[in-house]
Amino acid sequence: MGKWGWWVLGCSQVLVAAQAGEALKHPLGQYDSEQFITLSMPCAHCQSLPQAQWYFKNVIVAVPAAGQSLTSFSLDKRGADDVASLDLHALPDVVWTGSTHHWTHTRLSGDGKRLQLGDGKEMPFGIVPKIPTNLSYWNQDTQAFYAQRALSIRGEQVGQAIVARTLWPEDFRLNLQAQAQPLQRGESLKQLVQYEQGGAHSPHESRLLWQKAPGVAQSFTGKAVLGVLLNGAQGDDDEAHGGHFALTTGIISADGSYHHWLVNNYYNLATNSEKGIIAGVTPFDKYMADLNSGQAFYRPSYMLVAVFSQPTVPATIQAASNRTYQHFYRNDFVYDHALNNCAGISVDVLHNLGWKVPEIGGESLLKASAAYWYMAATERSLTKGRAIYDYLNTEMTRLFPAVAFDAIGNDLLNISHTGSTQTLASPEMQAIASQIEAIYFVRIPQIPSSRVTGLAPVYSFEQYLKQAPADRSQWKIIPVTPNPLPDKLKNGLALKPQAPALIPLPAILFLLSVIGLLWFLFLLLKRSLHKLFINRTKS
């Protein structure tokens, strides 16, 4: 810990404050704060699933308060396909706040030792301990960055000190007075993402790409939003050039702040994240600026924000996500980097609700079949062969976060400009066309930390290979440890075999075709040599 050690207070002290449960004071997405209480899991009197309580053991979360309705699910469904009869007022099983308290409009002293609250009162300031395996943590640059601006802080009050877990810069907000700046000819969402190699050191940007009544001042305060969130590539993890993806929902505050929106973060539950990330519904500021798990500490991010006149579209998508998490915690389906990753699960939620996000297709069935045998032979593993086959054959909007961001964003722009409902197959999603009022593009730079600079995410497997070292042995990979759900809690549908065949049929046909071609060439060569021999004998 070195010279920063005097800032850090122990976790045991922090957890004590959350044992009895406390009411929140700020909204969570579209939900009122009074609907939740915060506490540390496990909790005997909570409605939350036992599997969810196990994943969040010894973690501070917000759960539905007594008398509030909890999201329900169907026992015969596996995940995002469970979208029938959604209750838009039912609450998520768990919201990972990580803290019981939330302070806004605070100021950090230049030396980082004291915090000035919104009422002018000053208190000693500390931060939570660093997770040993975390590579992106507070340093002198972080302190200087935060000391320059007003902050929203999640944490605990321990004695007379405030111990921060999440610090969000309040100048990162929507510009509600912005004039529309539509994409110009030749300009694309992809170019905005790739600006300055991903814009890790660019200023925060809030650009109004479209509004329903151009040139007319509109008040978006209190309007519901759907955010399409894309995180960039990690600069020092060669397994993470694809970035990360999530859908977010919430209400626009009068000052344009979005730190209280909810992010639906799908992550692998079967491993312990080196940064302590747990898959779940999470406040935006915690998702982005938790001192250990915050995305903004190790890569730039981008968000498209669709503003709606009515709350039903974002509420429906959030309700479907809440139910998907119920299945996820039960292990009705499991995370898979090719078949069920953060983008794939999120896109599945939209597809099953009736928003048929335009598809691009897989990279190439022929390439996937060839890569299967190459990987199987060089790595001596049919499992690794199957993995590369799935990567190259999976629909790209489900595989690459950047492609999902691009497809959803361009479809939103097309719907807003033309009123088309071609990709909207259900009444709930057709409301997008009539209720959308504005679209923002938001660029969120990387917060200075001990981590190297992140990059823009890749859009294809070919680009991935160009960005990562050609020699796979030179890849920088951050190891993780297993986190298996205990057997006594395993009653989900994932226990029933659903895995695809280890050798896919197209790969078998490809191999047979190659063998057939080689056999044909062999026979052709044999016949040619035979003729040559006969001709020489005659002569």
Average pLDDT over residues 349-361: 97
Please give the pLDDT value at position 4.
33
CA-to-CA distance for 313 and 428, rounded, in angstroms?
7
Average pLDDT over residues 144-163: 96
Q: Which amino acid is residue 262, in one-letter code?
A: L
Burial class (CB in 10 A: 0-12, 13-18, 19+), 200: buried
Q: Which amino acid is residue 168, in one-letter code?
A: W
Average pLDDT over residues 514-529: 83
Per-residue pLDDT of 413-439, as tens digits, reads 999 999 999 999 999 999 999 999 999
Average pLDDT over residues 389-396: 83
Residue 65: partners with Cβ closer than 8 Å, 6 or more residues away = 23, 34, 35, 36, 37
More confident residue, 297 or 373: 297
More confident residue, 91 or 514: 91
In the chain, % of residues over pLDDT 90: 72
Q: Would the pLDDT of 215 be above 60?
A: yes
Q: Would the pLDDT of 12 be above 70?
A: no
Q: Would the pLDDT of 380 be above 60?
A: yes
Q: Would the pLDDT of 5 be above 70?
A: no
pLDDT band at 497 (very low <50, low <70, confident <90, very high): low
Q: Where is average pLDDT lowest: 37-51, 138-152, 322-336, 517-531?
A: 517-531
Q: Would the pLDDT of 386 be above 70?
A: yes
Please give the pLDDT value at position 521.
85
pLDDT band at 478 (very low <50, low <70, confident <90, very high): confident
Main-chain phi, psi angles of 492, to 5 degrees? -85, 170
CA-to-CA distance for 233 and 222, rounded, in angstroms?
33
CA-to-CA distance for 283 and 200, rounded, in angstroms?
22
Q: Would the pLDDT of 16 be above 70?
A: no
For the record, the structure tokens of 293 come out as: 């798990």
* pLDDT, averaged across the chain: 90
Please give the pLDDT value at position 370.
76
Please give the pLDDT value at position 216.
67
Please give the pLDDT value at position 518.
85
Please give the pLDDT value at position 462.
85
Q: Would the pLDDT of 385 be above 50?
A: yes
CA-to-CA distance for 175 and 441, rounded, in angstroms?
11
Please give the pLDDT value at position 499.
58
Radius of gyration of the chain (CA): 26
Average pLDDT over residues 81-90: 96
Average pLDDT over residues 329-341: 94
CA-to-CA distance for 255 and 175, rounded, in angstroms?
8
Q: Where is average pLDDT lowest: 48-52, 135-139, 523-527?
A: 523-527
The residue with tokens 């796979």 is 472
Per-residue pLDDT of 173-192, as tens digits, reads 999 999 999 999 999 999 99
Please give the pLDDT value at position 373.
78
Q: Would the pLDDT of 399 be above 80?
A: yes
Quote the DSSP letter at residue 353.
Answer: H
CA-to-CA distance for 40 and 15, rounded, in angstroms?
7
In the chain, % of residues over pLDDT 70: 93
pLDDT band at 388 (very low <50, low <70, confident <90, very high): confident
Please give the pLDDT value at position 8.
43
H or E element at residue 386 = helix 382-393
pLDDT band at 511 (very low <50, low <70, confident <90, very high): confident
pLDDT band at 86 (very low <50, low <70, confident <90, very high): very high
In sign, the C-alpha dihedral spanning 286, 291, 293, 298 is positive
More confident residue, 531 or 112: 112
CA-to-CA distance for 315 and 318, rounded, in angstroms?
5
More confident residue, 246 or 46: 246
